[in-house]
Amino acid sequence: MPADPLHRAGKPQRSTTSQPPVGSRASAIEVRRSARRRRTVSAYREGDRTVVLIPARMSKAEEQRWVTVMLDKLAAQESKRRLGDAQLAERAERLSAQYFDGRARAASVRWVTNQNTRWGSCTPAERSIRLSHRLQGMPEYVVDYVLCHELAHLLVPGHGPDFWRLLEAYPRTERARGYLEGVVAAERLPHLPDTGED
């Protein structure tokens, strides 16, 4: 389920944190109960934590059932959003055609797990593009922006004015950059230890 900023900002009646079921992507599950929430249940990822929002009146058994249901739904949504290397290369080709008149042609485009301080990289001499696995599951326009950014490097090395003029062709550049800056800022926020209090 998508993030619910209205409920994130409000103070929950009760919040509990537990370890996820074996095989889950998140390292912890936080259940937030709200007296204002009547019937709906929603969930979203917050870093490596999954937050599940439920009505305050729910029993512990209902809570457990809904946590399992919501974890399954999130996992299904995320697996649909993940592209393999072949789909990523096809996407790069489409973006090149759409925004760079097909001139930015990569020989290889693939996901990598060794880029934890950058979102993507390009080696123009080899015409290879690598995207950080941390982008998997992010909105499509963000992945497209990073692909366009790296494709632009096939045409203009460096980050000079010509590079940024070229990248202006992608209409969601500013929005995607803002999203990524928000992710980086959120990663730097201190995480308060769980006190176990309700």
Q: What is the pLDDT of residue 76?
A: 67
According to the per-residue pLDDT averaged within each range, which of 54-58, 99-103, 134-138 is highest? 99-103
Q: Does the structure show a pLDDT above 60 at 134?
A: yes
Q: Tell me the CA distances in angstroms from 121 to 27, 82, 103, 161, 191, one per residue in order.
A: 28, 19, 18, 19, 29
With cut-offs at 50, 70 and 90, classify the pLDDT of residue 147.
Answer: very high
* Residues 133 and 112: beta-carbon distance below 8 Å: yes
With cut-offs at 50, 70 and 90, classify the pLDDT of residue 90.
Answer: very high
Instruction: Say which residue, 48 or 67, is predicted with more confidence.
Output: 67
pTM over 0.75: no
With cut-offs at 50, 70 and 90, classify the pLDDT of residue 20.
Answer: very low
Q: Does the structure show a pLDDT above 70 at 6?
A: no
Q: Does the structure show a pLDDT above 50 at 196?
A: no
